Amino acid sequence: EPEVTQTPSHQVTQMGQEVILRCVPISNHLYFYWYRQILGQKVEFLVSFYNNEISEKSEIFDDQFSVERPDGSNFTLKIRSTKLEDSAMYFCASSEAPVSSYEQYFGPGTRLTVT
């Protein structure tokens, strides 16, 4: 069964450093998302992406964040200068269509630890 994959599974970085989290969505999906989950808190939407453009973004997704689809398979989230409060689990998701009734398929997540 096709699945969303994410690398790395765990990333440790120092405050102020740049990190890139990578995702490979399901191959025939066209809509891509990033969510984050701070430890012990709920899953929060960051950004959605379609046709090489951001479709929606939340208040969390400020200028420190960017997304890119550098090739036909990868979808990346970059945090330009990490802060302690960026420590969280980051989930990538993809869906066939943006229609709200379509489920989103989630990857296993990347745990980001900022020290």
| Half-sphere exposure in the Cβ direction for 24 (13 Å, CA) | 8
User: Would you say 1 or 14 has its CB closer to another protein?
Assistant: 1
DSSP characters over 89-114: EEEEEEES---TTSPPEE---EEEEE
| C-alpha to C-alpha distance for 5 and 74, rounded to whole angstroms | 10
Residues 60-89 close enough to bind another protein by CB under 8 A: none
CA-based nearest residue to 103, from 24, 33, 17, 54 = 33
Binding piece for another protein, criterion CB under 8 A, among 14-22, 66-74, 80-88, 103-111: 103-111
Q: Is 41 in the site for another protein (CB under 8 A)?
A: yes
Minimum distance between the CB of residue 8 and another protein, rounded to whole angstroms?
14
The residues that touch another protein, with contacts defined as CB under 8 A, are 4, 6, 31, 33, 35, 41-45, 48, 55-56, 58, 91, 93, 98, 100-101, 103-109
